[in-house]
Amino acid sequence: MTDRIAFQGEPGAYSHQAIHDARPGMEALPCATFEDAIEAVQSGRASQAMLPVENTTYGRVADIHRLLPSSGLHIVDEAFVRVHINLLAVPGAQLSDIREAWSHLVLLPQCARFLRAHDLKGQVSPDNARAARDVAAWGDRSKAALASELAAEIYGLDVLARHIEDHDTNTTRFLIMSRDANMARRSDHMMTTFVFRVRNIPAALYKAMGGFATNGVNMTKLESYMVDGSFTATQFYADIEGHPEDDNVKLALEELAYFTSFLKILGTYPAASVRD
C-alpha cells in the first residue's frame, strides 16, 4: 500500500497543513470530497486519511460524523491544528496595494478587525487554498488570499501579514483514519471513539451513561445527530478516555451495550498532546 495520506481540499488547505505537521513523511493526496478521501484509503490509493471532525469556533463537521460509521476505516490517531490565517499576495505586492481579500466564507468573519482596519473587501472563494491558487493565477497586486503559510509556499505567494485572525483560539481537531485498527498500542493517555443508538425504552440514554460514571470512565464528548432521514432515529458519537481492554472501560462498554441497539467502536488511539 502506498505511503500516502488523503485529505479533502486543494493543496495548501488546512487539512494539508495538518498532514504537514502530523505526518511530515507521508505524501499528501488531495481529494475533492470527504467521500473521495475515504475511498482513497478503501481502495488502497492511500494508507491513511486526515479528516477534520470538529472546530473550536464552528463545532463538529457534520458530514464526517455521518460518514465514519459506514466507512470501514478506523481511527488510529488524532491531530490538532491551530487555524492561523495569513494575508497572501503576488510577489512584489505591498499591503497598501491590496483592495480585496479572498477566502472561504467561514474564514472571512474571523479576520473582520484586520479587514476593517485596512479597508479590505472580503470576497468569497470555495476554499482558502483555492483562493491562494486563484490569486497566484490572476497576478493582480490588488487581490490577496486569506490562507495558510503552506498555501503561500505552494503557490509562490508572499505573506504580507501573519496570524491576522481576531481570536487566537481557533483550532481544528483531525482524525487520522486507516483500513486496519491498531488495538495493541498503549500510552499514558488513550482515547476511544464509538457511535451508538439507544434502545427504545424509558430513560435509555441516562441508563446507558450510568456505567461510565460508576466505573470512573471520563467521557470527553457526547453528541447526537439524526440518521436515516428521521426525526426519531438518533445516533450518538462519543469520546472516552481509556482503552476498551481496561477493566473499567470494559465494564462501562458492557453496560452500554445492554441499553443500545447499535454500538460500534471507531478507534482507540493515543491522545494528542494538546489535550494535556
Q: Which residues are catalytic?
A: 172, 174
For the chain, what's the residue count?
A: 276
Residue 192 in grid coordinates: 476511544
Q: Which helix or strand (DSSP H or E) is residue 54 part of? A: strand 48-55
- Residue 222, C-alpha cell as written in the block: 457526547
Amino acid at 265: I
Q: Which of 249, 259, 253 has the alpha carbon at shortest distance from 208?
A: 259
242: Cβ contacts below 8 Å, ≥ 6 apart: 190, 191, 192, 217, 218, 248, 249
Helix or strand holding residue 52 (H, E): strand 48-55
